[in-house]
Amino acid sequence: MARILVCDPISPDAVAEMKAAGHEVAEKPGMTPEELLATVSGYDAMIVRSATKVTRPVLEKAAGTLKLVVRGGVGLDNIDAEAAREFGVKVMNTPAASSIAVAELTMAHMLACCRFLTRADRTCKEGKWEKKAFSKGIELWHSTLGLVGFGRIAREVAKRALAFEMKVIFYDPFVNDAGGMDAKKVDLDTLCRESDFISLHLPMSPETRHIISKKQFDMMKQGVVVVNCARGGTIDEPALAEALKSGKVFAAGTDVFEKEPPEDLSLVSCENLTATPHIGAGTGGATSRVGGEVSRIVIEHFKK
């Protein structure tokens, strides 16, 4: 039997599966960093999503007992993987489980940007009929989509973009070809210059921090649309706000921010920004798939 600490919400079915396998499961979502440090000792496994940060002090506090950290979702940005290796803790995630949900939200942001959906909806509910103001939308059809990063989620976005008859190009130094998909690899400068739509799909790291900043915005087409449903910090937010206000960027959609929730509202307050509060994996299907994959990983690990 393993003692498992669930730090962020997962599906009840996943909790029930782990209990049925004979494990003790403690659900303690919403802990502060201080509460986590006071709680983590004595557990064999931790389950987190994006909210809980598994830092070196947390791993040090859990050392000797903790054997596994499972991140329900894509990436390991909130886990100190180097420290985990030092303390002999295995780290795993569930990259496939939420890919569809994030890809669909990316497409939703692109469409909302194209057709002023959030602003048009709001003004209609205010009793206004501003048809003329919202009659200069743009289309996905026959436009060029540039994907910054070409992992699982980006490939799902590419499939959907191709169904809209978009041309797809991508930049990813770790991917050599599109794997049979109708997409062309280019360098980042070319992507910025040629794309009508740009969507980010990469982890947050020192190498990717502000990978899209003023220099890149200056290269872009007038009236480009930029979407980020990946990680906050990969876009320079003040540079994006400036590009939105100047009209260089027609509209932008973002599900992620450098600071969540954002304290500086200068970007969020831009009329041509569509913002969502980091809900990329927030569907019933994705939650169920993530939970199922998390419970499978935990059960398999402790069978050994």
Instruction: List, by residue number, the catalytic residues.
Output: 231, 260, 278
CB atoms within 10 A of CB 225: 26
Calpha distance 90→76 (Å, rounded): 12
Per the CB < 8 A criterion, the answer to whether 77 and 52 are in contact is no
Q: Which two tokens stand for residue 57?
A: 């002090």
Calpha distance 170→195 (Å, rounded): 10
Q: Which two tokens stand for residue 276?
A: 């969502």
Tokens 């205010």 sit on residue: 126
Strands (DSSP E) found in the chain: 3-6, 24-27, 45-48, 68-71, 90-93, 144-148, 167-171, 183-185, 197-200, 224-228, 249-254, 273-275
How far is the first Cα of the chain from the last one, in angstroms, to the nearest whole number? Answer: 11
Backbone angles phi, psi at 181, to 5 degrees: -85, 150
Torsion of CA 152, 158, 275, 246, to 10 degrees: 130
Query: Which residues lie closer than 8 Å to 71 by C-beta, 6 or more apart?
Result: 48, 49, 78, 79, 91, 92, 93, 94
Per the CB < 8 A criterion, the answer to whether 66 and 222 are in contact is no
Q: Which of 237, 243, 239, 236 is nearest to 265 (CA)?
A: 237
Per the CB < 8 A criterion, the answer to whether 18 and 298 are in contact is yes
